[in-house]
Amino acid sequence: MNLQKYIGRFFVWRVKNVPDNYFVIFLSIIIGLGAGLSSFLLKSFVYYIKGVLTGFFDISAQNLWYVLYPGVGIVITVVLVKYVIRDHTEHGIPRILHVISRFDGKMRRHKYFSAMLGSSFTAGFGGSIGLESPIISAGASIGSGIGQTLRMNYKNTTLLIGCGAAGAMASIFTTPVAAVIFSLEVLMLDLTTSSIIPLLIASATGAVTTKLLLAEDILIHFAVTQPFEIADLHYYIVLGVVCGLVSVYFNKMHELIRQLFIRRIKNRLVVGGLGLGILIFLLPPLYGEGYESIRLIMTGQSDQILNNTALYDYRDVWWVLILFMILIILTKIIATTLTTEAGGIGGIFAPAAVMGGLTGFTVSRLFNEIGFVNPLHEGNFTLVGMAGVLGGVLQAPLTAIFLVTEMTNGYVLIVPLMVTTAISFTTIKIFSKHSIFTKQLAESGDLLTHNKDKTVLTLLNVKRVIDTDLLTISPDSTLGDLTKLISRSKRNIFPVMADDRTYLGLVDLDDVRVDMFKPEKYSEPITNYIMQAKEHVSVNEPMDSVMEKFRKTGYYNLPVVDHGKYVGFVSRANIFNAYRKVLKDVSME
């Protein structure tokens, strides 16, 4: 008996004996464990590669290997993903959101391997990316795969994807609460009793797994050694504005370079790999995720950030360090985008966090060196800056606040975290309505939000509600031909199309009602009765656009036309029925 038969039998037994909500809770443990193990494997492999490649470097001198390593890593990634795994390069959180909105939560199974292997070589060899998105993608892939294998419905499959993402996020930082908030705030899952318990369990399982397996020097956590002082509040307000502007710069520069590669650069791998290598040679802290710089700051060793640079001998000069930090802040997103556009796999989570941490440190060090009366605690500003830029770039302020709160094992900094992140988020909202994750999805009409009406309309598509059973008539026909057609039809509209299915218009029963009872009119050409609808619908048109056309015209039916060819009609009644069904399918009680 093959595996599919066993799965089929288990499916029947499970439906009869185990309610969905209990079964999902059980699966959330497995998914959290899988996400935690994936995080452990990826992090360990990346740090091993980095140790082998850079462990012998002399910290007092520049090293030309930095020019070569990133390109080699990207080449390995491209070969693995394109020719071995045979996957395209769309990965990370935007892909997860797209799968949820357009593919019923069904991720391809090879996404797990492409995310894990591709990002490990990209980051290990110095690609300036974050490992969070690949790990989250791997966790979501585990959840989606289990949901598909066990024939779960859309609602539960989506929840399992959220469990995978939450488990992965929690495993990276050992921050289970922030991971749950991330699933609700970024993946747009509903906060209900049926969703919150599996998310909590998956997050806790993922966090415990990596806590048990990963070495302490790989885990990302920091200690707060000095409490927040209310006298420093106005400096945190200034930091919030700066973090907001850095977030705007992050988004704008990312999009600028991405468009440059799309429109102007043909050999992406060579240009991106070489450009990245030169940047890392000049500014070694751009190598990999970049969290090492934050660790050095938090342990009072900020001068070591200048290791392997031409400025090593000036590491004790405060203004040299500040200028170097500003260079890292400005070039980190450039290096990240070069990495991904050249073919590397990774995300923008770590780059945003690192840029934020360096921003907080730079602002506080600048204030301290200028000579203000009360010295600012640079470690606290570093942590708050991480949340400020992260919350701005992701447009997920709660995730950023609770992430740093849990990373520091307490709520000592909760007030400055809230103030700075809120100001940063407000600042970036002035310039950008959507985050990097959601901008392209919003432009294509594929973005799901917590607005249930918009979510249901996004999940609906025109093909699902097309009526194709209307009787059509040729433009060469007469009223007499139409009268015969009316006797066989249950509808009151008749599309007129040519032999090649070109749509010419329609005839409404109300327009011929009087003449159809006058035999002397039967010879009248049907073209005398053709009317043109004020609007028509295309096959791939977003449903919210279709509803707007119904509102503007007042029609109850609209023709569907694909490149001038007649396809069918959509009606308000069909859309309403489909709307109710989708609403029921996606609602988590």
271-306 pLDDT, tens digit per residue, is: 999 999 999 999 999 998 989 999 999 988 988 998
Mean pLDDT across 367-381: 86
Whole-number pLDDT of residue 333:
95
Mean residue pLDDT across the chain: 86
Asked if residue 7 and residue 155 are part of one domain, the reply reads yes
User: 318-342 and 349-370 helices cross at what angle (nearest 10)?
Assistant: 170
Give the mean model confidence (pLDDT) for residues 353-380. 90
pLDDT at 516 over 70: yes
Q: Are residues 365 and 307 in the same domain?
A: yes
State residue 372's pLDDT score. 67
> pLDDT tier at 588 (50, 70, 90 boundaries)?
low
Average pLDDT over residues 211-233: 82
- Please tell me whether residues 207 and 234 are part of one structural domain: no
**SS3 annotation, 12-26:** HHHHHHCCHHHHHHH
pLDDT of res. 180: 92
**DSSP string for 340-390:** HHHT---BSHHHHHHHHHHHHHHHHHHHHHHT-SS---HHHHHHHHHHHHH
Encoded tokens for 534: 């004020």
Q: Is residue 449 part of a domain?
A: no
> Which range among 373-377, 452-456, 530-534 shows the weakest confidence by mean pLDDT?
452-456
For residue 140, the 8-state DSSP code is H
Does residue 549 sit in the same domain as residue 419? no
Query: Which CATH number do you get for residue 508?
Result: 3.10.580.10
Q: State the pLDDT at residue 22.
A: 87
User: Given this model, what pLDDT does residue 89 score?
Assistant: 52
pLDDT tens digits for range 304-325: 998 888 888 888 888 999 999 9
DSSP-derived secondary structure letter, 130? B
pLDDT band at 438 (very low <50, low <70, confident <90, very high): confident
Pairing relation of β-strands 565-571 and 557-562?
antiparallel
Q: Tell me, yes or no, whether 322 and 344 share the same domain.
A: yes
Query: Is residue 225 in some structural domain?
Result: no
Question: Which residues fall within 8 angstroms of residue 327, CB to CB, at 6 or more apart?
Answer: 283
| Confidence class for position 458, pLDDT limits 50, 70, 90 | confident
What is the number of structural domains in the chain? 3
Q: Compute CA distances 22 → 15, 31, 59, 489, whole Å.
A: 11, 14, 55, 50
Distance CA 207, CA 211 (A): 6
Residues 400 and 544 in one domain: no
Task: Name the residue among 139, 89, 94, 88 with its Cα closest to residue 112.
Answer: 139
From 162, 179, 213, the end of a domain falls on 213
Whether residue 240 has pLDDT greater than 60: yes
Q: Give residue 166's pLDDT.
A: 94
Look at residue 445 in the predicted model and tell me its pLDDT: 64
Residue 564 CA: distances (Å) to CA of 497, 506, 536: 10, 14, 10
Mean pLDDT in residue range 29-54: 92
Name which of 69-73, 276-280, 365-369, 518-522 the model is least confident about.
518-522
Residue pLDDT, tens place only, 548-564: 888 888 888 889 998 88
The pLDDT assigned to 72 comes to 93
- What residue has token string 């103030």? 419
Q: How far apart are CA 423 and CA 429, in angstroms?
A: 10
Query: What does the pLDDT average to over 109-134?
Result: 87
* pLDDT for position 234: 92
Q: Which residues of 9-32 are buried (b: 16+ CB within 10 A; e: fewer)?
A: eeeeeeeeeeeebebbbebbbbbb
578 pLDDT tier (thresholds 50, 70, 90): confident
**Does residue 373 contact residue 312 with C-beta atoms inside 8 Å?**
no
pLDDT band at 8 (very low <50, low <70, confident <90, very high): confident
For 450-585, strand residue ranges (E) read: 466-467, 493-497, 503-508, 557-562, 565-571
User: Can you give the CATH number for the domain in which 87 is found?
Assistant: 1.10.3080.10
Last residue of a domain, one of 147, 179, 213: 213
Of 506, 465, 464, residue with least CA distance to 489? 506
Q: What is the average per-residue pLDDT within 40-48? A: 91
Task: Please give the pLDDT value at position 217.
Answer: 67
Cα angle 153, 465, 497 (rounded to 5 degrees) comes to 150
Query: Smallest Cα–Cα separation from 122: which of 411, 361, 304, 340?
Result: 340
Cα 481 from Cα 483, distance rounded (Å) = 5
Summarised one tens digit per residue, pLDDT across range 122-181 is 999 999 998 988 999 999 999 999 998 888 888 889 899 999 999 999 999 889 999 999
* Mean pLDDT of all residues in 414-435: 93
pLDDT at 422: 97
Which of 420, 444, 468 finishes a domain?
444
Distance (Å, whole) CA 422 – CA 407? 19
* Residues 395 and 459 grouped into a single domain: no
Selected residue with higher pLDDT from 565 and 221: 565
Compute the half-sphere exposure of residue 540: CA atoms within 13 Å on the CB side of its CA.
Answer: 6
Q: Looking at the structure, tell me whether residues 252 and 400 fall in a common domain.
A: yes
Instruction: Provide mean pLDDT across the span 361-370.
Output: 93
Is 277 a member of any domain?
A: yes
Q: Can you give the pLDDT at residue 246?
A: 97
* Any domain includes 155: yes
- Predicted pLDDT at 379: 92
Give the lowest-confidence range in 37-46, 64-73, 110-119, 281-290. Answer: 110-119
Average pLDDT over residues 474-482: 87
- pLDDT above 90: residue 392: yes
- The Cα-based distances of 325 to 302, 304, 573 in angstroms read 10, 12, 60
Residues 45 and 112 in one domain: yes
* Residue position matching structure tokens 């998105």: 133
φ and ψ at residue 460, rounded to 5 degrees: -75, 150
Tell whether 241 and 333 lie within a shared domain.
yes
Over 90: is that where the pLDDT of 326 sits? yes
Q: What domain range includes position 502? A: 455-586
- Tell me: do 83 and 122 sit in the same domain: yes
Cα angle: 550, vertex 551, 553; to 5 degrees: 65
What is the predicted pLDDT for the residue at 389? 97
Residue 486 has pLDDT above 70, yes or no: yes
Per DSSP, 434 falls in state S
Question: Rounded to an integer, what distance in angstroms lies between the CA atom of residue 349 and that of residue 179?
Answer: 13
pLDDT computed for residue 3 by the predictor: 67
Query: Could you give the angle at the alpha carbon of 292 between the alpha carbons of 420 and 240, nearest 5°?
Result: 10
How far apart are alpha carbons 360 and 297 in whole angstroms? 11
Mean pLDDT confidence for 530-552:
86
**Can you give the pLDDT at residue 499?**
85
DSSP sequence for 250-318: HHHHHHHHHHHHHHT-S-HHHHHHHHHHHHHHH-GGGSSS-HHHHHHHHTT-GGGGGTTSTTGGGTT-H
Q: Within this chain, do residues 206 and 322 fall inside the same structural domain, yes or no?
A: no
What percent of the chain shows pLDDT beyond 90?
39
Q: In the block, which residue shows the tokens 């497995």?
A: 30
